[in-house]
Amino acid sequence: MDKEESIDLRELMQIVIRHKKIMCIIITVCTAIAMITAFFILPKTYESTTLVRAKSSSKLDLSGASAAMAALGVGGAATSPTMVYIELMKSRAVVNPIIEQLDLPAEKKENLTAKGFAKSSLEIINTKGTDLIEIKAKGESPEEAQQISQGVVDGFLNLMTQMNQDQQSLMAKFLSGRIDVARDDLDQATQKLDAFGQDKKVYVPEVQAKAEIEKMAAFDTMYSQLKVKEDSANAQLQSATSQLGKQNSALKEFNVADNPTIQKIRDSIVSAQVELVGLQQRYQDKHPDIIAKQQEIAELNTQLGREVSNYVDAGTVTMNPVQAGLIKDKVGAETDLAVTQASLSAIQGLQKKAEGDMSKLSSDSMEYIKLQRDVTIKQGIYVSLVQNYETARVQEAMNSMDIQIVDAADLPNGPSGPNKKLITAIGMLVGLIIAFGYTLLLYSKRR
C-alpha cells in the first residue's frame, strides 16, 4: 500500500512538471481576473465613523420606584441602554429617512428595505465593558458615507426625543385629569369643614383634639404620598402595556408573586414604611432614626429593582432588547403598584387603630378632626400632583439627551473597499485549486 502511494505521488509530480506552463497560465489568469475585478470593476466604497456615548435616560419617575422602573431609564441603572440603542439605530424609523435622502434611483429605493440597508451599509459596535457605540457607515462616495453615519445619529436623537416626549405627554395628560379631580375633592372637603365650623361654631379645636390632629399628621402625610405613588404607578403600567401592544408579539407573562425573593423584599419595604410613620410621630424629619429608616427604604427599593430586572432577564434572553426593556418597565410598574397598595393597606390599618384612641373626645371635636384631616390629605395629594405635572411638562419640552457625540462623522480621505490584496490572494488561491484539479484530471485519464 505504501509503495502504491509513493508511485502515485511521483506520477503526480511528473504531470505537474510536464504541464507546468499550463498550470502557470491557469494561476496567472485567475490572479489577473481577480486583480482586474478588484481594481477596475468592483465599485469603491468609503467608510465614515461616528463615536457616541450612551447615557442612562433621564425620564421622569413620578411613582418613586427609582430602582424598580429601570427598564427604559425611568429610574436606576439596572440595565445598560446600549443594546437597546443599537437596535433602535437599525429600526425603520431611523433608517428609512436616510434612504429617502440618498441620491439613488427610484426603483432601487423602493426595493431597499431598512433591514437590508442596515445589514449592507451599517456596522454598529458596542465596545465591551463601556458605554461607547461606534457607528460605521459605508457609501459609494465620501460624502454619502458621512451622510449615512451622521443620519443615523440625527435620526436616533429625533426618535428618542419623540418617544420621550410622547411618554411625558401621556403622563402629563394623566396628571392633568387627576389634578382636576383632586382640586374638586379638595374644594368639597374645604367647604364641608367651613360649613361644620359655621354650624357648630367650632373654628379652633380644643387642646386635646389638637394633639390628636398632630399625632395623625404622619399617617395623613404618608397616605397622601402613597396615593399619588399609586396613581403614577398605574399610569406607568398603562404606558408600558400600550407600548407592548404595539409590538404585536406573543410575550411571556411574569408573575412576581411566584418569586419568593421579591415577595420578601416587598414585605420588608412595607414594614419599614410602617416603622417610618411611627418614628415621624415622635421625632422631627431630620432626626437620625428617621434619616436611617429612609435610607433603608431607598436601599430596599434599589434591591427590589435589581431582583425584578434579574427575574425578567431570565425569561427574556431570546427577545430583542427593546421588547425586553418594555417588559421590565411593565413588571417594574406592577411590582411598584403591589408594594404601594400593600403599604397603603398597612397604613390604613394603623390609622383605624389610632382613630380608636379618639373616642374619648367630644363628638364635635371628633367630627372636626375628621374633616380637617380630610382637607389635609386631599391638599397633599393635590400639591404633589401639581408638582409632578409641572415636572412632566418640563421634561416634555426638553430635547433628548440619551447619547453624547464623542467624535462626529468624518469625511473619508480614501476608499475602504474593495480589499484589493485580499481579492487578488483569493484569485490566486482559486487558480491553484483549478490547476490542482486539472492535474488530477490528467492523472485519472493517464491511469
Average pLDDT over residues 79-89: 77
Over 70: is that where the pLDDT of 57 sits? no
Alpha helix (H) ranges present in 358-404? Answer: 363-397
Whether the model clears a pTM of 0.95, i.e. scores above it, the answer is no
Please report, as a single letter, which amino acid is at residue 280: Q
- Chain centroid to CA 125: how far? 18
Which H/E stretch holds residue 139? strand 132-139
Task: Return the number of other C-beta atoms located less than 10 Å from residue 231's C-beta.
Answer: 23
Task: Determine the pLDDT at residue 400.
Answer: 53
Task: Determine the pLDDT at residue 39.
Answer: 85
Closest CA to 171 of 257, 100, 68, 72: 72
Between 409 and 250, whose confidence is greater? 409
Asked if omega into 418 is within 30° of 0 (cis), the reply is yes
Alpha carbon distance 84, 316 (integer Å): 14
What one-character-per-residue DSSP string does 96-133 give? HHHHHHS---HHHHHH--HHHHHHHHEEEEE-TTSSEE
| 417: its cell numbers | 473597499
User: Order of strands, edge to edge, in the sheet holding 46-54?
Assistant: 122-126, 132-139, 46-54, 403-407
Alpha carbon distance 191, 194 (integer Å): 5
Please provide the CATH number assigned to the domain covering 46-64+74-157+404-415: 3.30.1890.10
Q: Mind spelling out the 3-state secondary structure of 187-224? A: HHHHHHHHHHHHHHCCCCCCHHHHHHHHHHHHHHHHHH
Where along the chain do its domains lie? 2-42+421-446, 46-64+74-157+404-415, 165-402
Q: How many helices (H) and strands (E) does the chain have?
A: 13, 4
Q: How far is CA 68 from CA 300, 352, 367, in A?
A: 10, 30, 40
Over 50: is that where the pLDDT of 146 sits? yes
Dump pLDDT digits (tens) for 356-365: 655 555 566 6
Alpha carbon distance 299, 272 (integer Å): 11
Task: Determine the pLDDT at residue 5.
Answer: 47
pLDDT band at 305, cuts 50/70/90?
Answer: confident
Average pLDDT over residues 182-204: 76
Question: 56 by DSSP, 3-state: which?
Answer: coil
Task: Determine the pLDDT at residue 65.
Answer: 35
Average pLDDT over residues 36-61: 78
- Chain centroid to CA 123: how far? 21
Over 90: is that where the pLDDT of 429 sits? yes
Please report, as a single letter, which amino acid is at residue 318: T
Task: Determine the pLDDT at residue 255.
Answer: 64
pLDDT band at 368, cuts 50/70/90?
Answer: confident
- Dihedral sign computed on CA atoms, order 409, 411, 412, 418: positive
Mean pLDDT of the chain: 76
Task: Determine the pLDDT at residue 358.
Answer: 57
Alpha carbon distance 276, 297 (integer Å): 9
Q: What angle do CA 304, 310, 313 make, to 5 degrees?
A: 140
Alpha carbon distance 316, 322 (integer Å): 11
What one-character-per-residue DSSP string does 79-101 give? S-SHHHHHHHHTSHHHHHHHHHH
Residue identified by cell 469603491 is 44
Q: DSSP label at 130?
A: S
Alpha carbon distance 10, 31 (integer Å): 28
